[in-house]
């Protein structure tokens, strides 16, 4: 759903050519958190799309909370020095000098952050205290598309950074 980075193809090729990898611990932590959070948002959105009914505020708030968690995890993966002891699995990557390559950071910021932001904005609009209302199905479909976009990005990134 996030618009492609203008030189995206070139960057993916560079990742392959220069064999830029992502440390297995980072993948592990990423899937541990993002895997769950993206799955929950996808399931919630799918449920209301299938019934063709607006998403109630209670579940909209749950989605908003998950976007905050995704943002927090991505921020900490991008900036491991901010990881705290109480951050559970994230603590595994702190102090191990396994930071991400700048291109990977750019991809993460662009795709995961923008898609999460898209969901956050959409939900926040409906949760505006001045006019709270259930999320219309057409916008729930957009939320689902954002989750698909994040899944596709993670799959593609894993593919190009996998050692041959």
Partner 1 sequence: MMKYQMLKVLIVDDEEGITDFMGKILRLRGFSTFEALDGISALEIFKKERPHINILDIRLGNSSIDGLGVLEQIKKIDPSARCIMVTRVTDETAINKAKELGAVHYLLKPIDAKEWVGVVLEVADSILEGENNGKSHS
Q: Identify which of residues 34 and 90 has a Cβ nearer to partner 1 in the complex.
A: 34
The nearest distance, CB 94 to partner 1, in angstroms, is: 19
Q: Identify which of residues 53 and 121 has a Cβ nearer to partner 1 in the complex.
A: 53
Cα four-point dihedral sign 94, 100, 102, 107: negative
Q: Identify which of residues 34 and 122 has a Cβ nearer to partner 1 in the complex.
A: 34
Q: What is the dihedral of CA 31, 106, 74, 26, to 10 degrees?
A: 40
The nearest distance, CB 7 to partner 1, in angstroms, is: 26
The nearest distance, CB 83 to partner 1, in angstroms, is: 19
- Nearest-angstrom CA–CA distance, 108 and 123: 22
Q: Considering just the CA atoms, what is the radius of gyration of the chain in Å?
A: 17
The nearest distance, CB 70 to partner 1, in angstroms, is: 11
Summarize as ranges the residues that interact with partner 1 (CB under 8 A): 24, 27-28, 31-32, 34-40, 42-47, 50-51, 62, 66, 147-148, 150-151, 154, 158
- Nearest-angstrom CA–CA distance, 108 and 102: 10
Across-strand partners of 135? 55
* Residue found by looking up tokens 């995961």 in the block: 112
The nearest distance, CB 140 to partner 1, in angstroms, is: 12
For residue 106, give both structure tokens.
Answer: 């750019």
Instruction: Provide CB contacts within 8 A for 138, sequence distance 6+.
Output: none
């Amino acid at each position: 759903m996030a618009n492609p980075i203008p030189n995206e193809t070139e960057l993916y090729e560079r990742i392959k050519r220069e064999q830029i990898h992502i440390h297995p611990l980072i993948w592990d932590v990423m899937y541990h958190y993002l895997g769950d959070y993206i799955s929950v948002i996808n399931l919630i959105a799918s449920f209301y799309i299938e019934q063709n009914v607006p998403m109630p505020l209670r579940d909209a708030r749950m989605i908003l909370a998950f976007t905050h968690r995704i943002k927090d995890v991505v921020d900490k993966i991008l900036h491991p020095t901010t990881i705290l002891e109480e951050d559970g699995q994230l603590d595994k990557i702190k102090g191990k000098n396994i930071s991400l390559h700048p291109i990977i950071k750019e991809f993460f910021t662009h795709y995961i952050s923008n898609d999460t932001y898209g969901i956050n904005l959409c939900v926040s609009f409906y949760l505006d205290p001045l006019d709270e209302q259930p999320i219309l199905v057409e916008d729930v479909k957009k939320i689902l598309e954002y989750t698909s976009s994040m899944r596709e990005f993670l799959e593609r990134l894993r593919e190009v950074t996998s050692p041959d």
